[in-house]
A and B are shown apart, each in its own frame.
Chain A
Amino acid sequence: MNSFKRGFFDGLPIGLGYLAVSFSFGILAVKSGLSAWQATLISMLNVTSAGQFAGLTIMISGGSLLEIIISQFVINLRYSLMSISMSQHIDKSMTLPKKLFFGEFHTDEIFAVGMGHKEKLGSKYFWGVIIAPYFGWALGTFLGGVCGEILPAIITSALGVALYGMFIAIVVPPMKHSWKITIVVFIAIAMSLAFKYVPFINKISSGFAIIICAVVASLLGAIFFPVEDKEENKA
């Protein structure tokens, strides 16, 4: 299979998953007072999950642009870490203009499938892998915005876990194969729970909390359980 096709088939399940998740975003956006087109434009320009949900909340409450900047920076800072990882995993065909273009499509899931490949990735792979997720994300938002009103509340409630379902699908399988990842993930979860429930530190915004959890847990992992080169793709 050529790398465009392989990318496309990697992206297909992501795109279908995004369709469900962005559907719930579309519903929420229209319920909050945006038009379906506005909701779709947010999805087309941002291609983020958590960031968009947070941005929407600020928009409808009439928050300041500074709030938007800080929230997006903090919540999406994880993409910086992923982009650094990805920059180590691409071949010579990824020239500067291509990086400037494909960088926009670094999402949690595209990153995860890309890093799952042993060999370095080229621009053909990226062309393939972004198609279904990008259009799934935009189309799902639009459909959610248009048909959200007619769906019963019990369906929209169920769709609320779609995003997290995708995250679980990425995190759990490698934990089966590597005790190191398992420990590091549990450290991150324990910290995340502390940021939610322990008095005083639970005042920290959830975006910051995620960054702190991820950086501290990954640092502890790097110090105490460094990964061998051959393990790297698994971890």
Chain B
Amino acid sequence: MNWLIFLKYVLVMALVTYLVRVVPYICMKKEVKSKFFKSFLAYVPYTVLAAMTIPSILFATDNIWSAAIGLIVGIIVAFFERGLLVVAVSSCAAVLVVELLQRFVF
């Protein structure tokens, strides 16, 4: 892509992303006391990531079946608290195995 056009896009993108992250960070000076707001904030990371993962993960690979197995394997490995990397790699490996089976066996 032409660098001039590209830079226009990427700088605008980076600026918006930066402001979205930093403005609330520097504006919150006082400690939040409200139990309601604290609870809300505590739930945010989990609800965001859950909504981002399901159902999008099902469309992240070649076909829905390999993705579904990748999801299930990821959940099982995560259940045993194996950490980010192990979960991600197991999930990828499961997809790979399923797609190899689909191609060469079924």
Contact = CB atoms under 8 A, between A and B. Distances in A.
Interface of A: 13-14, 16-17, 20-21, 33-35, 38, 41-42, 45-48, 50-52, 55, 58-60, 65, 68-69, 72-73, 76-88, 96, 99-100, 103-104, 106, 108-109, 111-112, 115, 153-155, 157-176, 181, 184-185, 187-189, 191-193, 196-197, 206, 209-210, 213-214, 217-219, 221-223, 225-227, 232, 235
Main SS of the interface on chain A? helix
Interface of B: 1, 3, 6, 8-14, 16-18, 20-26, 28, 31-32, 35-57, 60-62, 66-67, 70-71, 74-75, 77-79, 81-93, 95-96, 99-100, 103
Contacts of A185: 46-47, 50
B49 A232 contact: no
A96 B74 contact: no
A59 B9 contact: yes
A30 to B, nearest CB: 11
B17 A235 contact: no
B20 A157 contact: no
Given A106-B21, A161-B61, A161-B70, A221 B16 contact: no
A135 to B, nearest CB: 15
Given A41-B10, A88-B28, A167-B53, A13 B44 contact: no
B53 A20 contact: no
Contacts of B61: 157-158, 160-161
Contacts of B54: 189, 192-193
B78 A173 contact: yes
Contacts of B40: 218-219, 221-222
Given A100-B22, A161-B71, A164-B71, A172 B78 contact: yes
Contacts of A46: 10, 13-14, 17
A58 B89 CA distance: 29
B10 A45 contact: yes
Contacts of A154: 62, 96, 99-100, 103
A92 to B, nearest CB: 12
22 contacts: A17-B85, A34-B6, A38-B10, A45-B11, A72-B20, A79-B17, A81-B41, A87-B28, A103-B22, A103-B25, A108-B45, A171-B50, A172-B79, A173-B81, A184-B47, A185-B46, A209-B51, A210-B51, A214-B44, A222-B39, A227-B38, A227-B43
Given A81-B44, A109-B84, A221-B43, A192 B91 contact: no
Given A87-B24, A168-B75, A72 B17 contact: yes
Among A17, A160, A192, the most chain B Cβ lie within 10 Å of the Cβ of A160
A138 B37 CA distance: 35
B90 A170 contact: no
A47 B91 CA distance: 23
